Amino acid sequence: MDKYIISGGGRLCGRLRVQTAKNSVLPILAAAVLTDEPVAVCNVPDITDVKNMVKILSCLGCKISYRGQDVVIDSSCCDSCEIPRALAHELRSSVFLLGSVISRFRRAKIAYPGGCDIGLRPVDLHLTGLKRLGVDISECNGYITCSCQKLTGNEIMLDCPSVGATENIMLAAVKAEGTTVIKNAAREPEIEDVQNFLNFLGAKIKGAGTGTVVIEGVKKLGGGDYQPIADRIEAGTFLIAVAMCGGEMELGGINAENLSSLLHKLRENGCKLRIKNDKIYIRSDRRPVAVKSVETQPYPGFPTDLQAQMTALCCVCAGNSIVTENLFETRFKYVPELKKMGADITVIDRTAFVRGVERLKGAVTVAHDLRGGAALVIAALAAEGESEVLDISHIDRGYAGFEYKLRALGAKIRRVST
């Protein structure tokens, strides 16, 4: 397993451009199964989750080719409706293929999906939505098997605004007979991106980004080249790193509106921010001030995928903060690792009480999940002395060239194979 060795205490300065959004690319790749015509997804990040999704598509019979950083999918020869167990266990987003595969073949089989261990993420909402479209579902020996004679549009009310369920139902309904209405839909920008991709192929969907999504079924979809949106979570991670370490950075290729909840907190921290077109400029020239409260919420609230990084920032702020995780019940697994570095954190149930210290100290830590791992890296960059972050395969799932981008900002970080 690879690890990072980090010498902390330096400021971060420079320019970066944000990678394409992991959380858009994965469902868009899954959606390529819906059409017989070639689809090119442009500027795809070189991350493990994408590689695993491409492997699954290959196992389904899709022909995959590469054009620089573009992934070209030809699903005209797609001949399998079973997602392999080993790959499903590696990739939570394999569940998106249920909607597209059932739409293509009227049947699908998938093992329960895996991914980061951040708590229960049941697929009940996905399955309930598919049942409303006419899909028969059985669950046995760790597999979900779906079949139907036809897909029929219906009204679907989600019990909670699940991103995955909203996207999966969209993929299943896009070629169903009639109209499907998803109520209490998730509103994340990535859902609107999936809508825009499907409409680019010839779908008739409206309302993504609001609480109600309407899908009018079509007979056929086309192909073409599509550029997904930028990754707001990667952007947020680098912004928090600069706030924590001090310095200044120009971050390009990002829609600041998609990060408004984080930018509000960074201003509270005392950071200077300037936004122009698709660029965010940040400067942090003093110890950050504690924000009183951070609560994760569905979009447009504070994103759960930035909670760990924000908690790391709170560790070095002047004052006390309360961080509440409302979406996943075991997303504080990184806290004992931060405490090795001298962080003063007490976790009770889903709430972390953080008392800011003036400086963290270098330590050997272990990444247990993607975002918690990123939080440990930026904490090590801000700490005195040398740190190691072990098991960085988790970080590779979502950040392309993480160490190279940090080095471009002046960070002293290197990857070592063990």
CATH number for 22-226: choose from 3.30.2390.10, 1.10.3720.10, 3.65.10.10, 3.40.50.1000: 3.65.10.10
Query: Given pLDDT bands bounded at 50, 70 and 90, which one contains residue 306?
Result: very high
Query: Given pLDDT bands bounded at 50, 70 and 90, which one contains residue 329?
Result: confident
* Rounded Cα distance, 33 and 110, in Å: 15
pTM of the predicted protein model: 0.95
Locate the domains of the chain by residue range.
2-19+230-417, 22-226
264: part of which helix (H) or strand (E)?
Answer: helix 260-269
- ∠ CA 66-371-12, nearest 5°, is 90
Give residue-wise pLDDT tens across range 226-240.
999 999 999 999 999
Q: What is the pLDDT of residue 119?
A: 42
Q: Is the pLDDT of residue 304 over 60?
A: yes
Q: Any bridge partners for residue 137, and if so which? A: 146
Domain 2-19+230-417 classified CATH 3.65.10.10? Answer: yes
Q: Is the pLDDT of residue 209 over 60?
A: yes
Q: What is the pLDDT of residue 311?
A: 98
Q: Is the pLDDT of residue 279 over 80?
A: yes
Q: Is the pLDDT of residue 148 over 60?
A: yes
Q: Is 315 a catalytic residue?
A: no
Backbone angles phi, psi at 179, to 5 degrees: -115, 135
Q: What is the pLDDT of residue 89?
A: 77
Mean predicted confidence (pLDDT) in 143-170:
95
Q: Say what angle helices 22-31 and 163-173 make with each other, to 10 degrees.
A: 20
Backbone angles phi, psi at 259, to 5 degrees: -120, 20
Query: Given pLDDT bands bounded at 50, 70 and 90, which one contains residue 96?
Result: confident
The larger pLDDT score, comparing residue 203 to residue 330, is at: 203
Q: Are 269 and 288 in contact (CB under 8 A)?
A: yes
Q: What percent of the chain has pLDDT over 90?
A: 89
Sheet with 364-366, strands from edge to edge, namely 364-366, 386-390, 2-7, 412-417
350: part of which helix (H) or strand (E)?
Answer: none
Asked whether the CA dihedral 70, 37, 86, 337 is positive or negative, the reply is positive
Mean predicted confidence (pLDDT) in 212-225:
98
Cis bond upstream, residue 300 (ω within 30): yes
Residues in CB range of 130: below 8 A, 6 or more apart: 98, 99, 102, 137, 146, 168, 169, 172
Residues in CB range of 86: below 8 A, 6 or more apart: none
Q: Are 356 and 318 in contact (CB under 8 A)?
A: yes
* Rounded Cα distance, 413 and 184, in Å: 43
Kindly calculate the radius of gyration of the chain based on its CA atoms and give it in whole angstroms: 21
Q: What is the pLDDT of residue 101?
A: 94
Q: Which of these is catalytic: 62, 78, 81, 116? A: 116
Mean predicted confidence (pLDDT) in 140-157:
93
Of the given ranges (64-78, 82-96, 149-163), which has the lowest mean pLDDT?
Answer: 82-96
Q: What is the pLDDT of residue 117?
A: 44
247: part of which helix (H) or strand (E)?
Answer: strand 247-252
Q: What is the pLDDT of residue 86?
A: 82
Of the given ranges (90-99, 284-293, 296-305, 312-321), which has the lowest mean pLDDT?
Answer: 90-99
Q: Say what angle helices 232-245 and 370-382 make with each other, to 10 degrees.
A: 20
SS3 call for 325? coil
* Rounded Cα distance, 205 and 213, in Å: 7
Number of neighbouring beta carbons within 10 Å of residue 338: 27
Pairing type for strands 136-140 and 107-111 reads unpaired
Mean predicted confidence (pLDDT) in 60-70:
97
Q: For residue 223, with 0-12 CB atoms within 10 Å meaning exposed, 13-18 middle and 19 or more buried, which class applies?
A: buried
**Is 22-226 the same fold as 2-19+230-417?**
yes
- What is the DSSP code string of 178-206? SEEEEES----HHHHHHHHHHHHHT-EEE
Give which of 311, 318, 301, 298 is closest to 338, Cα–Cα: 311
Q: Which residue has the tokens 């205490």?
A: 9
Q: Is the pLDDT of residue 338 over 50?
A: yes
Give which of 321, 293, 323 is closest to 308, Cα–Cα: 323
Structure tokens at 285: 């020239």
Give residue-wise pLDDT tens across range 123-135.
889 999 999 999 9
Q: Are 186 and 166 in contact (CB under 8 A)?
A: yes
* Rounded Cα distance, 170 and 372, in Å: 30
Give which of 164, 218, 158, 239 is closest to 194, Cα–Cα: 164
Q: Is the pLDDT of residue 114 over 60?
A: no
